[in-house]
Amino acid sequence: MRINFKYLRPHSLNECLAVLATHGDESAILAGGTDLMISFRSGSRTPRFVLDISRLSEIRSVEQHAEVIKIGAILTYSELIAHPLIVKTFPALSAAMSCVGSLQIRNVGTLGGNIANSSPAADSIPPMMIHDAQVMIQKVNSVRIEKLERLIVAPYSNTLEPDELITGIILKPVETAYKQSYRRIARRKSLSIARVNMAVSAKLDAEGLIEDVRISVGSVAPTPLRIKKVEDSLIGLKPESKFIKETGELVARHIVDLVGVRHSTEYKRPAIAGLVIKCLEDVFID
């Protein structure tokens, strides 16, 4: 390691927030460490303090509330994939978490860490966005709840203040009538960064017409995003294969309009369209 720092392991959430209140701007928060340790090695982060939050019991449980499920920020991917309630309630998110890095990475990496790192290609973020995810953020004596979509503002950048800590993720389960899909394209299956990743959740009404559809795409724009304009235009339509193909083109065109033509557009445009088609087939065609 090229850097040095003081290692702190707060024994409680309050203790941790107190340290952040005084030293937040010169601290790095260590949850799973899978991104942070690499930044120490490369020298891109040189904090004075490293706060190890990986043992804070207050933020490592799954809580079922009346309308929402709250996931503690430092639960690891492996713990969440093995959690029956998570697997049953959030199939797309579970599939996405199974794609993260490798088993060694999933054994330490956390959902809170994935949000804090705010990578445009984060596997877990599109499948949280289709549940209108909210992020619980705490600092000394205060809690704020922020929509995930608003928290992440640019690649690797979010609205977290130095004295704040992500403590949980609040997800709204959908009715069982919804079907979900998560897919990604990457150079290889394991240990790869997604080139395009996508989560879809949809429900048909009694006549077989689209009642609700949510599409979230990652790795194609500065931040993962919901394609609300396209989603809205699909309500009430019949999901036939011609329509699914057109929707693929529509989403791809929408994203190119949004981010402009880039060096990768020639590849990504058909890749996005293809992935939309596959995800929509997953949810609409048995």
Residues found near another protein in the complex (CB under 8 A): 1, 3-7, 9, 30, 33-34, 37-38, 40-41, 46, 48, 50, 52, 54, 78, 101-105, 107-108, 189-191
User: Pick from 226, 214, 218: which is nearest to 268 by CA?
Assistant: 218
Of 264, 247, 134, the residue nearest 198 (C-alpha): 247
Q: Which lies closer to another protein via its Cβ, residue 40 or residue 90?
A: 40
Report the alpha-carbon angle 190-80-107, nearest 5.
50
Minimum Å gap between C-beta 4 and another protein is 5
- Based on CB atoms, which residue is closest to another protein, 7 or 260? 7
Residue number, 106 or 268, with CB nearest to another protein? 106
Shortest gap between Cβ of 16 and another protein (angstroms)? 15
Token pair 């795409």: residue: 217
Contacts of 81 (CB under 8 A, 6+ apart): 87, 94, 97, 98, 106
Q: How far is the CB of 110 from another protein (least distance, A)?
A: 13
Report the residue number, 50 or 200, with the smaller CB distance to another protein.
50
CB of 41 to another protein, least distance (A): 6
Give min distance, CB of 32 to another protein, in A: 8
Output the CA–CA distances (angstroms, integers) from residue 188 to 23, 48, 101, 194, 201, in the order listed.
Answer: 40, 37, 11, 9, 25
- Write down the least CB distance from residue 104 to another protein, Å: 5
Q: Which residues fall within 8 angstroms of residue 206, CB to CB, at 6 or more apart?
A: none
- The answer to whether 185 and 194 have CB atoms below 8 angstroms apart is yes
For another protein, give the closer residue by CB, 1 or 66: 1
Identity of the residue, 19 or 272, whose beta carbon is nearer to another protein in the bound complex: 19
We find the least distance from the C-beta atom of residue 69 to another protein, in angstroms, to be 24
Is the CB of 79 or the CB of 163 nearer to another protein? 79
β-strand partners of 200: 181, 215
Q: Give whichever of 72 and 113 is closer to another protein, judged by the CB atom.
A: 113
Least separation in angstroms between CB 116 and another protein: 16
